[in-house]
Amino acid sequence: MKRYAYAALAIVIALCVGLIVGRFALVPRGIQTHVSTQTILTALRDQGFLVTQTYVFDQPVSIKKTTGNAFQDFFVGQTIEARGSMEANLGVDLAKLSASDVHIDGNRVTIEATGPNLFNTRLIGPIEVRNSQGILKRVLEPDDGYNQALAELERAATEAANRPEIVTSSKSKSELELSRLIRLLASEAEVTVIWK
């Protein structure tokens, strides 16, 4: 019986020694990853155009086609008043980044980006159009004014999206989003974005 007890004790001691040796000698201390410029560049380029700020503008526009003469305007003049909601998306075109735009120094990553740029403006919902045309224009050249109103709404939304306060806000959101994307690759990275 003592022989079995000693054998069981020897097995338990061998297992404990094996666990301790295996824990300290065989398990790697930590997986070291190396993130290169090309790795970051590829990951960012795969995002394409990164939309970081979306604004919705709802403002009326007015288009007046006048000859300057009230009598002539009665026959051929036109006034279009429209209102519609336009969405403007701003962000950074990451597909345009090159290897010279990404710099790594230790755990510091610096990105040189252009922008933020306007990606698109688009209509959301219907357009309310009121069209006042002169008598001859209504008969000879009927025009509902929709296309002109849409073009003017797009122009107004583009102009509004390029206001300095909106561009500044979009820059800060773009910096946060670029930092988040790079930290997915290198969690300890200190990210700096320089705008060209």
Identify whether the C-beta of residue 139 lies closer than 8 Å to the C-beta of residue 68.
Answer: no
Residue 172 is assigned to a structural domain of this protein: yes
Residue 25 is assigned to a structural domain of this protein: no
Q: Which one has a higher pLDDT value, 3 or 88?
A: 88
Confidence tier at 31 by pLDDT (50, 70, 90): very low
Residue 20 is assigned to a structural domain of this protein: no
Q: Any residues with CB less than 8 A from the CB of 82 and at least 6 apart, and which? A: 60, 61, 62, 63, 127, 128, 129, 130, 145, 149, 150, 152, 153
SS3 breakdown of the chain: % helix, strand, coil, rounded to 5? 45, 35, 20
Residue 44 is assigned to a structural domain of this protein: yes
Q: Which one has a higher pLDDT value, 9 or 114?
A: 114
Residue 107 is assigned to a structural domain of this protein: yes
* Number of compact structural domains in the chain: 1
pLDDT surpasses 80 at 165: yes
State the residue range of the domain holding 140: 32-195
Of 69, 74, 181, 87, residue with least CA distance to 137 = 74
Residue 130 is assigned to a structural domain of this protein: yes
Residue 26 is assigned to a structural domain of this protein: no
Query: pLDDT tens digits for 71-125?
Result: 655 666 667 788 889 999 999 998 888 889 998 888 899 999 988 889 999 988 8
Residue 15 is assigned to a structural domain of this protein: no
> What's CA 63's distance to the chain center, in Å?
32
